[in-house]
Amino acid sequence: MKVLTLNFLTCARKTCKQNPAAFPLHPKEAELEQIETDINPLFIQNMLPRLDWEAMKTVTNELGLPNLPLETPTAEALVDESSGEPSQTLKDLHSLLMETSVASGKLVCANCGHEYAVKEGIANFLLPSHMV
Amino acid sequence: MSNPAKQSESYEDEHVHAVYEQIASHFSSTRYKPWPIIERFLKALPDYSVGLDIGCGNGKYLAVNPKVFIVGSDRSSNLVRIASRHQPHAVAVADILDLPHALHAFDFAISIAVVHHLSTPERRIEAVRSILETLRFEDGRALVYVWALEQEGSRRGWTEDDEQDVMVPWVMKGSKKGRSSAANGECDGKPAEDQTFHRYYHLYHKGELEGDIEAAGGTVVEAGYEKDNWWVIAKRAKAA
């Protein structure tokens, strides 16, 4: 599960969803892997404004990844001015958001403390029946 | 009946979830062609829309439009594993009634051939509500697609007078060479027999899906019938 995905996930419990503490989920005992994919500059450029950047920073920080820029990078920052090629910023974002993946571990809700397992790169949000 | 909701849940566990888990790889090999209405909906989305495929199965709709970002989810971890191939999208194992997504946050959602697997009217409406709740107000759109009761032309031949709650067989043909037992892909080399699994369906009659959408706080934007299925494109009726 790539790091980008964490920006679109929250606790599955109805009682948590309305609570700001349920987002983002916090990775725990995460094993990371790097899965190479082709860089897609337009995809990243268009996803950036959709991301909750504070949540993204929290998650990458908790995963021990390199620091993200303090603010959401602008479209201009993604292109190398002289060559028109992807800038280093864009390459770093691609590596961090699209290629770095949680292979296994847990995702923890800070509101209720429930831990969701991640196995073989896939998070499981099925709740035990007493929590539904 | 001490707890009807729990009872429906375990009924669906046995007659829907467990079956898909077992037939996942065979089911997936028969599901590759996108249906026209769904393809049209996905291709008409503004570039780089962000949405959900709720009950994504093998993920065949993740591949339709590479210029949108979709988080797919399904109850079957075997199907989700198959769906996880479709980059740049994302997938997770989740239940339609307990989705791991923020409310009112997404541009679109599709839920194809999913809601008809819930076994009571209340749970089907709850499932539709769960889909609609993920949408932004008021531009977010959901496409919901369910099996129709009225399908005289199909090999099943149901008509509007037939029973709506049915068990539908899924047959995995055995072969003389010995074949994989679909759950784990192992091949034991012995001749295999046909295996039949039954899935629970609620077959929708004309107008019923629109009723569920409205009962769940939605407004029907467009609706129709396509090849044995009823479909609706809906939005949330109110901001909150």
Q: Roughly what angle, to the nearest 10 degrees, separates helices B121-133 and B208-215?
A: 60
Query: What are residue B220's DSSP bridge partners?
Result: B234
- A32: pLDDT strictly greater than 50: yes
- Which residues of A fall within a CB distance of 8 Å from B47? 46
- A124 in helix, strand or coil? strand
Give yes or no for A10 touching B (CB within 8 A): yes
ipTM entry: 0.96
Give yes or no for A106 touching B (CB within 8 A): no
- A29 in helix, strand or coil? strand
CA atoms within 13 A on the CB side of A50: 21
- A123 in helix, strand or coil? strand
Q: Closest residue of B to A48, CA-based? A: B48
Closest CA to A69 of A52, A53, A84, A81: A53
| Residue B2: band (very low, low, confident or very high) from pLDDT cuts 50, 70, 90 | low
Report the pLDDT averaged over residues B130-139.
Answer: 97
Give the end-to-end CA distance of chain B in Å, rounded to a whole number. Answer: 34
B100 → closest Cβ in A2, A9, A121: A9
Looking at CA atoms only, how far is residue A54 from chain B in angstroms? 16
Question: In this structure, are residues B157 and B240 in contact, taking their beta carbons and an 8 Å threshold?
Answer: no
- ∠ CA(A43), CA(A46), CA(A51), 5° rounding? 110
- The C-alpha atoms of residue A126 and residue B152 are separated, in whole angstroms, by 37
- B174: pLDDT strictly greater than 80: no
Measured CA distances, B204 to A113, B48, B67, B229, B230 (Å): 40, 33, 33, 8, 7
| Residue B231: band (very low, low, confident or very high) from pLDDT cuts 50, 70, 90 | very high
Return the H-helix or E-strand segment holding B199.
strand B195-202
> Position of tokens 């959401």?
A72
Strands (DSSP E) contained in B43-105 are: 50-54, 69-74, 90-93
Candidate from A68-77, A87-96, B114-123, B169-178 with smallest mean pLDDT: B169-178
The per-residue pLDDT for range B15-58, each reduced to its tens digit, is 899 888 888 888 887 777 788 999 999 999 999 999 999 999 99
Looking at CA atoms only, how far is residue B162 from chain A in angstroms? 34
Q: Closest residue of B to A13, CA-based? A: B98
Sheet of strand B108-112: strand arrangement: B90-93, B69-74, B50-54, B108-112, B141-147, B229-236, B218-226
The torsion angles phi and psi of A106, rounded to 5 degrees, stand at -135, 155
- B184: pLDDT strictly greater than 60: no
Cis ω before B138 (30° cut-off from 0):
yes
Q: What is the reported pTM?
A: 0.91
Report the pLDDT averaged over residues B226-239.
Answer: 95
Determine the pLDDT at residue B160: 87
- The C-alpha atoms of residue B173 and residue B184 are separated, in whole angstroms, by 16
B80 → closest Cβ in A2, A12, A122: A122
Hey, which residues 51-80 in chain A have their CB within 8 Å of chain B? none
The full length of chain A comes to 132
- B182: pLDDT strictly greater than 50: no
- B73: pLDDT strictly greater than 90: yes
- The C-alpha atoms of residue B87 and residue B91 are separated, in whole angstroms, by 10
Domain count, chain A: 1
Question: In this structure, are residues B197 and B169 in contact, taking their beta carbons and an 8 Å threshold?
Answer: yes
Are B48 and A43 within 8 A, CB to CB?
A: yes
Query: What are residue B224's DSSP bridge partners?
Result: B231
Strands B195-202 and B165-172: antiparallel
B228 Cα distance to chain centroid: 15
Report the pLDDT averaged over residues B139-153.
Answer: 94
B84 → closest Cβ in A42, A50, A121: A121
In this structure, what is the dihedral angle of CA atoms B72, B78, B82, B87, given to the nearest 10 degrees? 40
Determine the pLDDT at residue B23: 83
- B206 in helix, strand or coil? coil
| Residue B179: band (very low, low, confident or very high) from pLDDT cuts 50, 70, 90 | very low
Tokens of B50: 């962000």
- Report the CATH number at residue A26: 2.20.25.10
Report the pLDDT averaged over residues A72-84.
Answer: 94
Question: In this structure, are residues B78 and B21 in contact, taking their beta carbons and an 8 Å threshold?
Answer: yes
| Residue B175: band (very low, low, confident or very high) from pLDDT cuts 50, 70, 90 | low
Residue A37: which domain range? 3-131
